[in-house]
Amino acid sequence: MPSVRTILGSAGLGSPALVALATLALAPVGCGAPAVPRPTLVTHQVTDLVPITTPPPPAKTELIPTRPRVEGVVWLDGEWTFQGKRARWRRGRWVVPPRGARYAPWTEVRGADAQLYFAPGKWLDASGGELPEPPPIATAPASRTTVFNDVGEEEDVGRDLREGDLPRDGGAR
């Protein structure tokens, strides 16, 4: 791909000032966007894992809503959880974590025996004790995208979970 200098130079517009101006005009708009604040992450303990028979579908694409003007707010990506054997999408959300809390995001792993295991996301204190989920301050809008399984077939995942729908065990089955 030719450089900006080459293109402008071939058009007789190769002055350094014009090259600099064109470079700025063609720079991507998203450069320098502030990072999305995330919680301190930790891994799950083996005891958090529960066996599942079917992996959750690929993650849904979400638009992160504008960051609330609240001190200490962090973004949690959306995640799959289970209601019985059915995977349900829990939307991403802005929350204020409890002081000193760390977050173990949902995970799916396959054991040496090929058994599939799942652990839902959860908040932990400094000693590894589970904490209650902080209430969402803002939630990603509902995603109407079609979800496909690992062989390309449409996956029926129903509607997104609402916060009141979340099982008490966080979605482990």
Q: Sort residue 8 into left (φ over 0), alpha (ψ -120 to 50) or beta.
A: alpha
- The ranges assigned to domains in the chain are 1-33, 46-165
In the predicted model, is pLDDT for residue 78 greater than 80?
yes
How many residues in the chain?
A: 173
This prediction's pTM: 0.69
d(CA 33, CA 66): 13
In the predicted model, is pLDDT for residue 127 greater than 60?
yes
pLDDT band (50, 70, 90) for residue 142: confident
